[in-house]
Chains A and B, each alone.
Chain A
Amino acid sequence: MNDHTGKRAGPQVVHQLIEVMGTVVTVDLFCSAGVGSSEAAVPLAKARAILQRADSLFSTWKNNSPMSRLRRGEISVADAPPEMVEVLERCAEAREISGGWFDPWAMPGGVDPTGYVKGWAAQRAIGAFAAMAIDGALVNAAGDIASFGGPAGERNFRVGIADPLAPHQLACVVDLAGALATSGAYERGAHLINPHTGLPSALMASASVSGPDLGLADALATAVAVGGVDALARLESIDGYEALGITFDGSRLLTSGFVLQPVPELR
């Protein structure tokens, strides 16, 4: 614990890194005056517990996780913990909404909802801060971001979207309204699987989806990255969700409600 400003009366930001789910989740709480790390301690512990439980349930790396056991056929969905039933139902909805471009059941090695779970868990985790007297909160699960509110005096947060063709640069900046997820094949080689062929492939260099729920945004971002224009066009009819796809030649395709802000020059 490093608390340099705990005695300060004015607004402050409580920042925490949580190493979980094979990644680092960063939490930033933009606190009003009089609220600080001591008030944040219990909600932070709750958020951490939510993320850890998601990890223990859904990890495909851990041999004894319920997800691994389900994949091996040792348990059925009927025997699974209620969160797993919920996630698989949501995944089935995302599969339908995306026209099959997001399909955990088409993954090699058995059902794999990983593309939904990280966003789902981060969205649940941010709920731990809903009752706090704060201006805003950000939960960034390694590039997939859940949020509410904004910095003091501002309506929303601003976040950059990494440029998939020049990963050290930002492609654009967006005003965050809720959640934003980005998927792309540049992440770690060709890990995106085309559900229709079972083979690694992606039609977009990266795809970002904004919307109220990070779990669905995460799934739809994967769908657009894999399915390209066909998947992106389907988002036009999904209330509250917008998409930005960046093609391998650098072209940008946006749904009608996706608003880009200019990227400030690097100084």
Chain B
Amino acid sequence: MLATVAGLVGVLSFHTKPSSISLGSLPGASSSSRSTTTTTPPTQPTSSNPATAGAPPSTTTSAVPSTTRTATGAQVNYNFGVLSVTVTASGKKITNIGIASLDDGGNGRSQAIDQQSIPMLEQQAMQAQSANIQGVSGASYTSAGFAQSLQSALSKLGF
């Protein structure tokens, strides 16, 4: 499962739509250096069976309930406003990721985020889970705010 969470945050640190979320490229963003630390249990080998891939690991390491839970991450400032991310998980598998709130001050960014970025980020996250990878390399456009809020939502869910 660690691959999932590490890969997930790695994937979501990676962003390609300059018109939507473009955090961290301005001087103000680069002057801060907030950080969060989480600790996750180790990777379970990914099963080739879709029905069991991503299933909770053995009871000795899983403290996460198998029910479906949803958590919303902290509201985080980004270049164009304030956003928060919501995550739904079933057991230790993330089943949905979305924007819980977004205040862009009426500059029209929210539409681009909703229509383009969220489906893309969600699909990346799901593929990272499926592929058992630990990260993604790409010419990136980072959403610092998205990653921060996501991380805080994951923490609430016990990842």
A44 within 8 A of B: yes
User: Are B13 and A26 in contact (CB-based, < 8 A)?
Assistant: yes
A184–B141 Cα gap in the complex (Å)?
Answer: 11
Q: What class of interface size applies to chain B in its complex with A?
A: 35 or more
Proximity bits, A26-59, B CB within 8 Å = 1, else 0: 1010100000110010001000100110010001
Interface size on A, residues (CB 8 A): 75
Closest residue of B by beta carbon distance from A136: B134
State the majority secondary structure of interface residues on A. mixed
User: Are B38 and A4 in contact (CB-based, < 8 A)?
Assistant: yes
User: Are A162 and B16 in contact (CB-based, < 8 A)?
Assistant: yes
A181 within 8 A of B: yes
Residue in contact with A1 in the complex, picked from B36, B119, B136, CB distance below 8 Å: B36
B156 to chain A: closest CB distance in Å? 9
A121–B45 Cα gap in the complex (Å)?
Answer: 32
| B residues near A28, Cβ cutoff 8 Å | 2, 6, 10, 134-135
A-B contact pairs, 13 of them (CB 8 A): A3-B38, A4-B38, A5-B40, A16-B37, A19-B24, A22-B142, A23-B142, A145-B137, A182-B140, A184-B139, A188-B18, A189-B18, A225-B139
Binding site for A on B (CB under 8 A): 2-3, 5-6, 9-10, 13-14, 16-18, 22, 24-27, 29-43, 50, 53, 61, 63, 119-121, 123-124, 126-128, 130-144, 147-148, 151, 155, 158
